[in-house]
Amino acid sequence: MPVNIRIRFGRAIRRIREAQEINQEEAAERCGLHRTYYSGIERGVRNVSLVNIEKVSKGLKTSLPDLFSRL
């Protein structure tokens, strides 16, 4: 069975964050999101809106096409 899109998205942003050597709290701050909400995104338990996907992309300084190509 294929892995859920929320889990794949969470794994993708985790890899980006870890490559930047920042913790979840710093990533959440850069994205303008609450740290527990950001954590939920990485764990794949949040169904993220397009608005928040854009915030994550900008906060992690990654283009939307690059972000989705990592799924």
Residues 6+ apart with CB under 8 A from 4: 44
Residue carrying the six token digits 């990485």: 42
pLDDT at 56 exceeding the cut of 80? yes
For position 9, what pLDDT does the model report? Answer: 97
pLDDT at 1 exceeding the cut of 90? no
Encoding tokens for residue 26? 């710093």
pLDDT digits (tens, 9 = 90+) for 31-47: 999 999 999 999 999 99
For position 2, what pLDDT does the model report? Answer: 74
Q: What mean pLDDT comes out for the span 5-21?
A: 97
Encoding tokens for residue 10? 């969470």
Domains of the chain, start order: 5-69 (1.10.260.40)
* CB-based burial, 6-21: b 16+ in 10 Å, e otherwise: beebbbbbbebbeeee
